[in-house]
Structure 1
Amino acid sequence: MTIRHSTENYPIFMRECIIEEASGNKPETKFYKVYEPFNCDKGFRFSYTPTGAKPRYYVNGLAELKKAYREFNAKEEKEWVASHEDGKPYKEQKLPEAVICSGERDSLCCKSMGYHPLWFNSETYQLSVEEYKEIMKYVEVLYNIPDIDETGRRKGRELALRFIDIHTAWLPDKLQTYKDNRGKPRKDLRDWLEIHSERKDFRNLLRVAMPAKFWMQYYNKDGKIKTEVDTACLYNFLQLNGFYALHNENAEITQFIRIEGNIVKPVNVKGVREFVRKWVVDRFEDRNVLNLVLNTPKLSPAALESLQEIDLDFTSYTSDSQYFFFPNKTVEVTKPSEKLPGGIKEHEPGADELHNYVWADDVIPHRFKLLPDMFKFKQTKGDDGQIKLDIDVIAVKSHFFGYLINTSRLYWREETEVRFGDDREATEEYVKANPFRIDGEGLLPEQIAEQKQNLINKIFTFGYMLHRYKDMARAWAPLAMDNKIGDIDECNGRSGKSFFFKVLSFLMKTVKLSGRNAKLLDNPHVFEQCTQYTDLLLVDDCDQYLNLGPFYDIITSDLTVNPKNNHVFTIGYEDAPKIALTTNYVPKDFDPSTEARSLYMVFSDWYHQKTEDNDYRETRSISDDFGKTLYAYDYSEDEWNADLNFWLQCCRVYMSLKDTGIKPQPPMANMTIRHLKASMGANFEDWAEGYFSPESGHLDTYLARDDVFNEYQRFSNVSRITMQAFTKRLKAFCKLCPWVDCLNPPELCNAGGRIQRAVQITPELRKTKDMIYIRSLRLDTKLDVNEPTLNFSAEDETPF
């Protein structure tokens, strides 16, 4: 036997709980509830004795309510008999009310206010129909005062809608702005009574309580039943079922919504009325009630403007986490840690720890089941002290993962064609045996490293886009380009760039703009489709002459939206969508400002179209690799689940790297070549290859810049080109030309960065001119550094 004693510092309370009162020879049955509030183990703060005596279902306070009922009627009957000498029998009366509270503490407070409390052993207890009927034998009105935390609100709504005559008294939201002695928001009746301790305050709280039943029935003077809508109770009923008007300062028309758990659906007036009608029919209510619903003007558009307005937080992220919503669960992705090594945490739908609302069309319509990792990232330090990333492919279960691998195979022709020469059969067998391989046979270690670098960049970028949080330190826009080097201004394509962002649109609210329109930004309403709920603004297939500058400007700033027939509004940086761009051309600017705002992406030509103008052996599309169109009607749930797991693993990669300062960029060699070619133009490249050929005599010697400029003008028949534009093209040629070492070697330049020489114009006239010196890669070249150079002055032309 264990005996426990209370002390001044360790109180123990015990309450007698009556199960059944004594009747005749049948003794009273009861049990005792023991409460030790300071027990270190929360699981032992409550206990019951004797063991097994407590029934499974028990309403605390019901025995006391019955006793109060009997005592009340005994007193009333005694007074009745004394005042009615005619012997008219006394009819039992119900008590005015009883109050359902959320626990012992609240019940004690309720009792102190002079009311009869009832409570259950847990918040999850479900009051049965029989228990409800038993309670209503003794009271006219049953009140419920739920806690106003997430669980309390949910259970309060459930009880109100199961028993529509229960009057629910909601504690004011303002109560949560006060903190208890533990620093936590106040939430229950006891907390409220500490602030509002007078009985009139408690009476006022019950006075504003309302039932879910939204109609009243009574007999009119003709003795017929009259049914009317109780307007306040109707809107209470709608609110209990999750119907609200959404607060939106940027919308002129009220948007009605319905909240189910944490999922928000837009509804119209017809949808609201239909819900009420169906609810009445499903409950088999009287036809008068159904007619009331069908005929009432209180469900009209104008009347529904009185629905309670609500301001919801649709934030699905923190700075260190991202939530993904599925029908069967909510998944939280974070950086792996000791508490969560996998970095992926699953929550049950509507879990109390979740405070994030989500639009119904943002719920990913597939069931999620966690799968093992499909790849592993490794970090190493190079000889230069910089962190380098590597990837090990574990299993290509996801088709999207396979697609990313193949669009990263920059050297696929060396791997699958060059190595086998004209043996097409060997090539086909190898491709079939290695459909998704980033470290293919026959490739050099440097080539494999580049391909892995490309794949890592795509995984990182996909994860970056999935994290909705916007950090000024990581304000980037993915810019997807083709790796293939073609002719200048050649429009490469069909490499799978747009598909990358199409898949992102499955997970994000996306607004797509056609970049083919070079005058896209001339439209003042270009962003009118964007709202604060837009996640991704995709400018697809950008024209080579489309000015990308304004898009880069809004990457790090607010987004101003000018809708047609509505007022202009601004979406703050934190809520503005992330921006992504795709182009079949090489961007004209690779300046530091552009690079700081861009996450470059390079797509190989693994997917390509065979034409008469190219040397491809076949046409290959994404569907060819998988034997089906990805994400079409026949895409199985297992295939969806594999992709979903891969996408969340991509997000986890970004979470792991975002605070390291690492920004994985793809191999940019081909992009640099394409950029230089675009900077030159075909006309200039043709001229320069001849004019500065190894046999031309124009290498490793001083050339007057204006003479060279005039030579190009005569060749090209272009008269409007400026010296600045000519210089830019010449610089691009010298960087790209395989036999040129550099333009204007530094040791030949003066302090102003220019080469200047005195040139004999006529026997009598010498003139100082800016010179060009292109040094070739011939090892025997000797520079003439002894010829005097002239100092640069402010009157001279801009340095070369």
Structure 2
Amino acid sequence: MEDKNKIFWTTDEKEKIKIEQSKIVMYLEEKGFAKVKLSDEQYMLVRLKNNRIRKTAIEEMADIIKHYLLDVLGNDAVYEVFAKGVTTYLNKGKFSLLKTVDLVEDRDERDLARFFFKNVFCEITKNGIKVKPYSELEFPIWENRILDFEFKMPKNKTKGQFEAFCLYLAKEDELRLEAMRSFLGYLLHRNKDRGEDKAVILYDENMGLKGQANGRTGKTLLSQAISKCKQVEIFDGKEIKIGSWFKNQRIDLTTDLIVYDDLNKNVSFEKFFPMISTGIEVEKKHKASFYIPKEKSPKLLISSNYVVTGPGGNSDMGRRYEYEIANYFTADYTPKDKFGVMFFDSYWPNEEWSKFYLFMMQSVQLYLKKGLVKAEDINLRKSRLTSSTHPEFFEYANDYVQTNTWQNKRDFENLFKEAYSVDVTAHKMYKWLENYSNNIGGNFETKSQNSEYLFKIEKGNDGARVD
């Protein structure tokens, strides 16, 4: 029952009511209202209750006071005074008097992750998953971390529909499924202390072949699956405009993952480097910006129907983890056609929800144990080279480049021109050969000898780069 002795007004001998503004601030603090510092110029109003914290606004404060005056005390007279001067009693100046609390740090630990459900929370380590009651939770959490589901361990051990779906995306190959589970686990683990600062990039296995941009294979459903477990902001990658898209207005302190779905082919991966390696500047409309440092910033997932281009080199490739999705599903054959249900809708059985969450937590467990597992490329090398050279160049180079052997560059170039009727400059051919060498993990060298211009792509016997 609510305490009826919280008085933040006075009544004089003429029964005139006066709201005491310092006491109304104290009353709000007792109700859990406070502010969190985001930057030197910006604070956020929050409410902490039952070890859970969330963003709040003036409307909730007004509702709390209205409820107390009318429903608890039945004091219409005081409420009338409050209602007439509400903008005086509740305003930005008054909010600055609220106590400042530390920003809640409920991100995962380096070797431990947590899923929060309505009834329990789960702790995941490389050794297993423990289901715990909230009485054992020793720190406050953001309220929006709590998933709207009462989790119970599945009654039977048969594979769930979502896991079966993932196996199809992995070409029904257990090794590729392990790699998929590792990147799902990486994206679900809300921690950046493991030294794997990478964006996950998803492609279709037939991307770019025969000049087509394939889609509808299940990439988007994977990002939706993660959004059922963590705080995810999904952006339409086709709508990104170079030079104006780092406003990040929808990103918040509790955002765990940013998704750029179907990325515009003209956007360079280099534009994401600061987001991956340093942190994120967030600009809210009509508010001062604030900065989320790298260790607290969201991870990044990109899906694309084209090879995501970048500057190349170690700084580029070291920031990306790429995975090709099998073209098992299409626009004409969807997961609903296969399984007879829509994943994640209100009709999906609770047992499937439980199996789904268990699969996702087991994916985190796998990641904590093995890190990011790399899958073998299917067509990615060919697609990457084709996008940066000519559609026929990959096959031509595969046939005519002799590794570890000096070759005449002019002869190589002229033969390509004759075979494919392509007008290519000497400089462009140099860049194509350099790209091909990088693509197969070789060292590209050139030299002039007896008026001839020669090139060599050197590779070790194991196919590794020779330094």
The TM-score, its normalising length taken from structure 2, stands at 0.82
**Aligned residue for 2:151?**
368
Q: Rate the CA distance shift 1:563–1:250 in 2: closer, same or farther, 3 A.
A: farther
Cα shift at 1:713: 5.1
**Aligned residue for 2:195?**
473
**Aligned residue for 2:133?**
347
Aligned residues: 453
**SS state at 1:653 partner:** helix
Cα shift at 1:535: 1.6
Cα shift at 1:292: 4.2
1:768 equivalent in alignment to 2:451:
yes
Distance of 2:411 and 2:260 partners within structure 1: 44
1:213 equivalent in alignment to 2:213:
no
Q: Rate the CA distance shift 1:520–1:320 in 2: closer, same or farther, 3 A.
A: same
**Aligned residue for 2:80?**
291
1:620 equivalent in alignment to 2:333:
yes
**Aligned residue for 1:556?**
277
Cα shift at 1:605: 0.8
**Aligned residue for 1:278?**
67
Cα shift at 1:452: 0.9
1:507 equivalent in alignment to 2:229:
yes
**Aligned residue for 1:136?**
none
Q: Deviations over 1:381-427 (max 9, x none)?
A: xxxxxxxxxxxxx5213x32122111112xxxxxxxxxxxxxxxxxx
Cα shift at 1:461: 1.2
**Which of these two proteins has the greater Rg computed from alpha carbons?**
1
Cα shift at 1:648: 2.0
Say if 2:36 and 2:100, in contact at 8 Å, map to a contact too: yes
Q: Rate the CA distance shift 1:543–1:256 in 2: closer, same or farther, 3 A.
A: closer
Alignment root-mean-square deviation, CA = 3.8
Q: From 157, 163, 170, give the equivalent of 1:408.
A: 170
Q: Deviations over 1:106-131 (max 9, x none)?
A: xxxxxxxxxxxxxxxxxxxxxxxxxx
Q: From 425, 428, 436, give the equivalent of 1:722.
A: 428
Q: Deviations over 1:225-267 (max 9, x none)?
A: 5544344433332222222233332665x54332221333433
Cα shift at 1:288: 3.1
Greater relative CO (CA pairs within 8 A, separation 6+): 2
Cα shift at 1:313: 0.9
Q: Deviations over 1:116-160 (max 9, x none)?
A: xxxxxxxxxxxxxxxxxxxxxxxxxxxxxxxxxxxxxxxxxxxxx
Q: Rate the CA distance shift 1:594–1:242 in 2: closer, same or farther, 3 A.
A: same
Distance of 1:346 and 1:321 partners within structure 2: 14
Aligned partner of 2:163: which letter?
F
Q: Rate the CA distance shift 1:247–1:586 in 2: closer, same or farther, 3 A.
A: closer
Q: From 369, 377, 384, give the equivalent of 1:668.
A: 377
Q: Deviations over 1:300-351 (max 9, x none)?
A: 3256423333333142322222233222233333332xxxxx4323132xx3
1:482 equivalent in alignment to 2:217:
no
**Aligned residue for 1:706?**
410
Distance of 1:583 and 1:369 partners within structure 2: 36
Q: Rate the CA distance shift 1:567–1:255 in 2: closer, same or farther, 3 A.
A: closer
Distance of 2:438 and 2:37 partners within structure 1: 55
Aligned partner of 1:709: which letter?
E
Q: Rate the CA distance shift 1:326–1:213 in 2: closer, same or farther, 3 A.
A: farther
**SS state at 1:401 partner:** helix
Q: From 345, 355, 358, give the equivalent of 1:645.
A: 358
Aligned partner of 1:266: which letter?
K
**Aligned residue for 1:256?**
45
Gaps of 5+ in 2: 458-467
Cα shift at 1:497: 0.9
**Aligned residue for 1:419?**
none
Alignment of 1:146-185 (within 5 A): 162-165=2-5
Alignment of 1:384-395 (within 5 A): 395=158
**Aligned residue for 1:312?**
103
The TM-score, its normalising length taken from structure 1, stands at 0.50
1:459 equivalent in alignment to 2:165:
no
Identity of aligned residues (%): 18
Alignment of 1:561-710 (within 5 A): 561=282, 567-588=288-309, 591-609=313-331, 619-657=332-370, 662-682=371-391, 684=393, 704-710=408-414
Aligned partner of 2:101: which letter?
I
Distance of 1:593 and 1:655 partners within structure 2: 25
Q: Rate the CA distance shift 1:328–1:524 in 2: closer, same or farther, 3 A.
A: closer
Alignment of 1:51-66 (within 5 A): none
Cα shift at 1:580: 1.4
**SS state at 1:474 partner:** coil
Say if 2:129 and 2:361, in contact at 8 Å, map to a contact too: no
